Each structure stands twice: as C-alpha cells, then as structure tokens.
Structure 1
Amino acid sequence: MSRARRSAAVRQPGPASPGALPRTRREARIRARSRHRRRAWTKAGIVGALVLVVGGGSLAYAFYDKLDGNITTADVTSSLGDDRPADSPAGALNIALIGSDSRDGTNGRYGKGLTTHNSDTLMVLHLSADRQWATVVSLPRDSWVDIPGCDLGGGKTSKPTRGKINSAFAVGSSGGGGVTSGAACSIKTVESNTGLRIDHFMEIDFSGFKEVVNALGGVEMCLPKAVKDTKASLDLPAGCQKLNGEQALGYARARYSLGDGSDIQRIGRQQQLLTAIFATVQKKKLDAPAMYRLADAATKSLTVDTKLGGLSALLGLAQDFQSMPKDNLTFLTVPNYPRSLDVPSDKANVVWKSSAKELFAALRADKPVDKEGRPLVTPGTSRSPDGSAAPQRDSITVTVLNASGTTGKAAETAGKLAGAGFRTAPSGNTAGQRQTVVRYGPGGEPAALAVATALGLDADVVREQSTGAASAVTVVLGTDHSSLGL
C-alpha cells in the first residue's frame, strides 16, 4: 500500500474523539501489546540510533518500503499560524523532539492520577547549515514559561497563560486533536520562548528503545556508585558495565534514587546515555541484519511532521550526521535556576536564566555554543545576547547599592568597577535582601551582562526593570555577596 493510500485508509476519525487524529493500525497494534513501555524521557535515543543507522551503507534497500511504512506523519502547519519567528539561516534546521507521559493502560505502574498528556521530554536539535556541528538543548519539563494561545480545533483557541512548559502539550491536545494538536502547541510555546523557528518535529514512542539497545549488544556506562531504584526496576552495581535494553530503560527513568532527585540531574544522565548510544552505533561494525533491526525498531517509534515525513528525508539526516566531524554533537540543558528564588513558595519549578537568551540568539544565527550554552567566540572579545560586540566599559555607568548589611561593601565594589574601566555613580544603601542582582533598563542587557562578567557573577542574577537608560546599570549587593566572589 502506498504511503498516501495508507494515510487515507487508516487515519479516519473515530467516533470516540471527534476531530482527533486517529491511530494507524501500526499504532493500535503497538499500543495494545506494549503500552507499559511508552515513556518519553529517552526518546531522543531512538532518533540518534535512527539517523546513524539508516544511513549505513550496508542497509539493504529492499527493506526501504517496509521501514518507510513504519513511520507515522502528522501535519501541524495550519495550527502554528503566521506569527512565527523568522526562518532559520539557509540550510540550518531546528527539530523539536517531543514525547508525552501518558499513564494509559499498564503505564499506570509508572505513576497514578495523571489524566493529561504532558511533554515529559522536550528537546530542540539544531543542525548547522554546513552540517559541521549540531546541538541538542534539553528544555526541563518544569520550566516556568509563557504558553501562547493554541488552536484547539473547531474554531476554538486556548487562552494565553503562564505555567510549566510540559503542560503546553496537554493544552493543545485538550480539544481532541491528539499528538498533532499537542505537538503544535508545544512547538508554538518553544518558538515564543526561544525565538527559534522550529522547522520539523519528531514525537517518538520508545516502544522500540529496548530493542535498539539490545540490537547494539548493550551500551557501556560507568556508574560512580551502585544504583537501586524500585520505581525504575533498576539494580546496578558501581563501576563500568554494559547495560542491556531493560537496564538502559531503567537508568533513563531513574530519578529519586540518584543525585538530588531532580529532573535537571535526570536530564544529565539521559544525555550521558544518549551520548553512549551515539558512540556505540558509530564504533560498531554492524552487519546488514543488525542494521535492519535497529532501523526497524527506530522507525516504528516515530511520528514526524509531513514535511520531514518519509524515510528519504531521514536518510538525508543520517548522511548529515555521518559527515559531521567526530565530537561535534553537543548536549546541554537550557541555563536555569530554581523559581523559589523569585517565588519562595514554588519549590518545584525552574526559570530560564537570562543567559538562555544568549544561547538561543547564537542558534538563531547558526553559531556554535559550548557545553554551557555560551557562544564560541574569539578569545578576548565580549558577547551580547544578539551576538554583537558588548558595549565599551567606559560607556556604562554603574550604581552600587548595599543590601547586604556589611558596611563599606558598596564603596568597595564601586572601586573595583571603576578600576575595571566602568563609570560609577555615587553608591549607597538599600533595604536588605539575600540575593545579589544586576538590574538594567530597556535595551540595557548587554551593559548589565558586561558588569556581571566583570564582577564574576552568573548571568542568572541579571534582571530587567521597566525604567532607566540602556547605559545605566544598578548592582544590588545581597547577603550572598561573599559566596559570589565580591
């Protein structure tokens, strides 16, 4: 059956959810026998395996139609509207990697009470125009962001709100549009908060993840300490070892038994696992049957946009990855800090640091970044969020206010800034506060970042205020000044 005919034949609306995108027969079969394996946290691993595997020279093209038929497509274009970021530089691509955390069926063993479908994992893969480097940015599911109004179908649009980024998928799919509407709302949310134009998306069911790892013969991981997590069905000794599919799955899921139990640290472990999978595929000399098993497992797990849809486009991605210089794939997490620093009662969520603007500005301009998300620049030069040179220090006027309660700290800091080439206004005292911040007026972020850098402060302390000149910056010293090197 041709691809067009398959879509027409099996994607008919079901009576239970008018307007929803119906399942393909493949989806129904997979979900019926393996719902318990549908978690999103390691979905990018299947993308990695796919793009590296299906491009292998030993892949028999007799299997092309079979693999092509595995892939499900969804059209999100009409739901994104016209108010979108500018196109990526010619040749560069931004691909959203999205997965939901449904607890349907036996998925309930991973947690009860969840009735919505959120994006448990959300990443942006940026491929450079020259295909010499790529960056994968993880967006924590607890990121507190603006969620725009989304198309719910039937002429209805959701109201703009502010909340966790993973709830955007639930908002979009609440009108019955399933993966298509959920993905569209997630994409709109990513675009509005990053300024990146999302060119394609992949929603990846991990039903084939264990098969991918097992077909590779496992993946090597080195664990600093033993891991035992009953929720993830994981019991591993300390040391370097080879994880099979079930163990790799558990390691990607594990959260509360490792580190501080946060999703941020779990993202780091997932990225380590994905790196190991990429490295394993690149190093192994796989025979044709093994290549096919990997590609078959990966393609069965994919839903992609119609523009990317089909094995030929994915083969193109595979070739791009294969031609990329070794070690030029970077994984990172968007710079963030606990929202409790702004809202003490919120202990669960995170806010993106102001340095995230610098990260996304670089990717919008198709410029590489380091593992901290900072644009790679010529040594000795300064950066501003739009990639241009930072303002000269002698053009920036800094006022230092002492909120630390320690006598003389404002004058001492102002003296350091003057010695570093900044202009300084009279210093003084202000109401006490814990955190040191650097404030700036409209258009003044480059100047504020220059001041923060000179003082050895993280970019997350830089905050915008509604008034003031772009060249005027205020440093408010909190009681944490001693720990920040002031």
Structure 2
Amino acid sequence: MHLLGKIAVAGLAFAVLGGTAYGYTNLHALDDVTRDSVIDADGGTSPGEQPADGSLDILLVGRDSRADQQGKPLPPAVLRELRVGANGDDLTDTLIVMRIPNGTKDVKAFSIPRDSYVSMPGGRGKINAAFGRAKAAEAKRRRDAGETDKAKIDQAALTAGRRATRQAVEDLTGVKIDHFAEVNLLSFYEISKAVGGVDVCLKQATKDKNSGADFPAGPQRIAGADALAFVRQRDHLVGGDFDRVRRQQVFLAGLARQVLSAGTLTDPGKLSDLIDAVKRSVVLDDSWKLLDFVAQMRGVSGGGIQFDTIPVVNRDYRYDPQDPRATAVQVDPAAVKAFAAAMVGTAAPAAPAAAPVTVDVSNAGPKEGLATRVAGFLADHGFARGTTGNTASRRTSLVRFGADLAQRGAEVAKLLGGLATQESAAVPAGHIEVVLGSVYSGPGTTGGGSAPAAGDAPITSDGVVCVN
C-alpha cells in the first residue's frame, strides 16, 4: 500500500516559512535544515527563473520512506506509532506544484496524481517511479565507477532521484520549477503534531485497516498518526486515489490555516516545536534563499490557497497488454501543459478569433451538472458559453466542429484532457460541440480541472470543506 499523504511539506512552503515572516529571528533557527542540489547550474538547471511577475513555482514532494533524512531506518517503535510497516518503496507519492505570487494574490496549487503515466528516462511509467529509477541508476553508476564510500553513493543517488522527479514534473506540466521541498513519513507526523492538529471534516464515518483510519463523520481535529491515516486512506473511498488527493488538499489548506493562526504564531512553544520538526526532517534545494522567500510570503499570507488537480484522460488506463490488471492514470501532456499554464497564469494570450467561438456542451453520462461545470471551465479559457444539457447515453467523449474551427476545436479537446475530435458540417457556424461520455474524467469532475464535481465544494484555505 503506497502512501500519498506526506503533504506537510506544503505546510513548510506556505505556512511554516510564511508564518516566520512575522518574526525574522525565528527564521535563523532553520539554518540547519537539510539541503540538496536539486536545482543548480551543475545539474543543467538554473535556480530562480524569475518570471516577469516575480512569482515562484515550488515543487512539494512527499516521499514514501521509512528512513530519516540522514538515511537511517526509523526505529520499530516509531513505525508502530505511525501504523506503517518496515518496508517502503522509493516513490514520490505526493506531487504538488505551488505558485507563490509576488504580491497579494492568492497562492495557486495543483496536484499530480502519483500514477500519472508519463515519458521519462528508462521508458514510460508512473511519474512516482521517476525518483526510484534515477536513484538506483546513479547508485549503480557510482559503484561501477569504483566508488566504495556508501554514504557518498547514497547521497548522490538521492540527489539524482530528486532531480529526476523535478525534471519529470517540468516535462509533464511545462512549468519551470524554481524550488524544491521534500518530507517523509516522520516529518509529516511531527509537523502535524507540532501545530496542535488540523481541522478537517468527513461526509461520512470511515474505517480502514490498511491505513489505520477510523474516523467519525463531521468536523474533527487530527494530528500525528491520525493525520497520517487521514491522508493515507484510499480503500473504501468512492474515488480511490482521487479522493485521497482531495484529502491531501483539504489537509494542506487546514495546515496552512492552523500555522498562520495566532494560536501558533504567538505560542513560543508551538513555534519552537514546529521549527524543530522542520529541521529534523525536511529537505530543501540549496538555492532557496529563505529570507527572500519570507519577504515574498508576507504579501500573500493573508490571502488564500486555491487547489486543483491536473486533467486526466482515463483513471483506469490499462497500459500493459501483457498484464491487463496493471492500471495507471492516462494523461495528455498537451492538455496538462495548457491547464498548468492557465492555472499559474503564464499562458500567452490567445490570438483573437475571427468571430466569437461558442461552445455547446452536452452530458451523455451520469454525472449531474457536468455540462454546466465544463462550460464554465471553457468560459474561463476564453470560449463563449453556449447551450448545456443532457443527451443520449454514450461511453466516450467527442468534440465536433466545422472545418474553419479545426484549430479551436483541437484546443478545446486538449483543455478537456485530450478528447477525440470530429470535423462535421452539421455543427452551426461559430460553434463547437462537446459531448461528454460516461467515462469522461477531465476538468469539471473531481480530480480533473478547476470545477468541482457535483456536491464538492472548491478547496481553499478560507475554511473547512467536508470530503469523502
């Protein structure tokens, strides 16, 4: 059972460092945080790309590791407290890209499902495997070159894994990562306890043996092992991993809200515990200048965080003909790049169309309100709202358009996760028609775009949202 929930790193990036903006003296206590050359000139990248608006893009990584940041295995007593076994994979089971603006705008963040099937060195595979592949390859290369110092081999391998993860995210999203932060199981556990717990809410009671989850319905405060169980659980959830991603986002919003509250910032004991937890277990890239970052966070700490998830084509993608039971999450890189550019505000303005382009959306599946939500998503991307409603049931989705709107029709198809297209003279002039099939899982559904599914409130840091 892999783990997704080590998202306290985002609490570091937004909340912990943002909170220390209230007192620069606290920041110096973080001088001992572990650093790694994830983003540097030697690695073929340049830190701090500095977009025109001065914003920063941070990759927040949660790694499935039963070791501390020095590579020492966690003691059996600690593993029992965490309710996890001794064996863990070299997987990055939480990947969140966070845009920190230079000013008072809201922070925007989006999740990448851990099973997203992408191209990377060594062949196509799930994006959370990029770390382990590169780590193993670098360790082998060092040993083959005659290196015998285990500590040096292990550190070089970890650096290679982190760089490969950063590169895989950049390749998929088109977003240049300026900074990197990583936590593991222990750091998540300690940070959530240090802030005194995080407020969450569940739509119904849930119990799961594998994760240790045992929660009543309704609002509640969780910390430590309970918090880890909350973000680990995927069994007995309707949406599986996608519900678990939504739990990550809810917990992260609550963590930021809790750290930035007066109860934490004005409590020397809590603040000290929080800083100690970060120092013990968090890894940052060595190009990250914390004082500069804190100054930038001052402008946004009073705003909020808006969460989303990249669009997907198929949540149950059978990628291996030799093993029909193997599944992954199918994504369209072009659609993901378009989504990410719109999400972080880096997309170049679209060239004006010769005539207004109206999109009519029909829902051929069972999801109530889907056509309206998708129409709203497309309106946010410059298309005029047309008619919305239901149509005869069909499994697959389709985008239809006249010959003169082939380019804009292809753009709509990509925005919605890479849908099939069809040129048709029957489509009215100036219109594009979208038919959403029963297996549609792009923007407008949970875990696939800026609009939430029916009954699901948008996740921000402004308040507690009940989730599955």
> With structure 2 as the length reference, what TM-score do the two structures score?
0.66
Q: Contact 1:221/1:243 (CA < 8 Å) preserved in 2?
A: yes
> Shift in Å at residue 236 of structure 1?
1.9
Q: Equivalents in 1 of 2:207, 2:357: separation in Å? A: 56
Q: What is the DSSP-based 3-state SS (H/G/I as helix, E as strand, rest coil) of the residue aligned with 1:124?
A: strand
Which of the pair has more CA radius of gyration?
A: 1
Match of 1:238 among 207, 217, 228: 217
> Shift in Å at residue 81 of structure 1?
2.9
- The structure with higher relative contact order (CA 8 Å, sep 6+) is 2
Amino acid at match of 2:196: G
Cα gap change, 1:41/1:260 in structure 2, threshold over 3 Å: closer, same or farther? farther
Q: Contact 2:181/2:282 (CA < 8 Å) preserved in 1?
A: yes
Match of 2:309 among 333, 350, 353: 333
Match of 1:182 among 151, 161, 167: 161
Report the RMSD for the aligned CA atoms in angstroms.
Answer: 4.5
Amino acid at match of 2:417: D
Match of 1:307 among 254, 271, 287: 287
2:241 corresponding residue in structure 1: 263
1:129-144 matched pairs, under 5 angstroms: 129-130=102-103, 132-144=105-117
Q: What is the DSSP-based 3-state SS (H/G/I as helix, E as strand, rest coil) of the residue aligned with 1:55?
A: helix
Establish whether residue 88 from structure 1 lines up as the match of residue 54 from structure 2.
Answer: no
Cα gap change, 1:117/1:447 in structure 2, threshold over 3 Å: closer, same or farther? same
Cα gap change, 1:139/1:46 in structure 2, threshold over 3 Å: closer, same or farther? same
Cα gap change, 1:214/1:476 in structure 2, threshold over 3 Å: closer, same or farther? closer
Amino acid at match of 1:268: R
Match of 1:44 among 4, 7, 10: 10
Q: Equivalents in 1 of 2:30, 2:397: separation in Å? A: 55
2:371 corresponding residue in structure 1: none
Q: Contact 2:7/2:252 (CA < 8 Å) preserved in 1?
A: no
2:36 corresponding residue in structure 1: 73
1:9 corresponding residue in structure 2: none
> Shift in Å at residue 166 of structure 1?
0.8
1:167 corresponding residue in structure 2: 129
Aligned length: 371
Q: Equivalents in 1 of 2:47, 2:19: separation in Å? A: 33
Residues 72-81 or 116-125, more deviating: 72-81
Cα gap change, 1:395/1:315 in structure 2, threshold over 3 Å: closer, same or farther? closer
Q: What is the DSSP-based 3-state SS (H/G/I as helix, E as strand, rest coil) of the residue aligned with 2:61?
A: strand
Q: Equivalents in 2 of 1:55, 1:392: separation in Å? A: 49
Q: Contact 1:144/1:349 (CA < 8 Å) preserved in 2?
A: yes
Amino acid at match of 2:65: S
Q: Equivalents in 2 of 1:192, 1:458: separation in Å? A: 17
Q: Could you list the per-position Cα deviations for residues 279-324 of structure 1 after superposition, in whole angstroms to 9, with x for gaps in the alignment?
A: 112223322232122122123222111211xxxx334333433321
> Shift in Å at residue 84 of structure 1?
12
Q: Equivalents in 1 of 2:315, 2:48: separation in Å? A: 27
Q: Contact 2:108/2:344 (CA < 8 Å) preserved in 1?
A: no
> Shift in Å at residue 235 of structure 1?
1.9
> Shift in Å at residue 276 of structure 1?
0.9
> Shift in Å at residue 389 of structure 1?
4.5
Q: Contact 2:357/2:432 (CA < 8 Å) preserved in 1?
A: no
Return 5+ residue gaps in structure 2 as ranges.
Answer: 68-72, 140-155, 361-383, 387-393, 423-428, 443-468
Return 5+ residue gaps in structure 1 as ranges.
Answer: 1-36, 150-158, 367-384, 399-419, 423-432, 466-470
1:283 corresponding residue in structure 2: 261
> Shift in Å at residue 48 of structure 1?
3.7
Amino acid at match of 1:163: G
Amino acid at match of 2:256: F
2:22 corresponding residue in structure 1: 56
1:293 corresponding residue in structure 2: 273
Q: Equivalents in 1 of 2:292, 2:31: separation in Å? A: 13
1:122 corresponding residue in structure 2: 95
> Shift in Å at residue 169 of structure 1?
1.0
Q: Contact 2:200/2:219 (CA < 8 Å) preserved in 1?
A: yes
1:459 corresponding residue in structure 2: 416
Q: Contact 1:53/1:294 (CA < 8 Å) preserved in 2?
A: no
Residues 123-132 or 259-268, more deviating: 123-132
Q: Equivalents in 2 of 1:421, 1:288: separation in Å? A: 53
1:425 corresponding residue in structure 2: none
Identity across matched positions, percent: 27
Q: Equivalents in 2 of 1:449, 1:97: separation in Å? A: 29
Establish whether residue 199 from structure 1 lines up as the match of residue 183 from structure 2.
Answer: no
Q: Contact 1:38/1:205 (CA < 8 Å) preserved in 2?
A: no
Q: Equivalents in 2 of 1:361, 1:272: separation in Å? A: 23
Q: Equivalents in 2 of 1:243, 1:462: separation in Å? A: 40
Cα gap change, 1:299/1:448 in structure 2, threshold over 3 Å: closer, same or farther? same
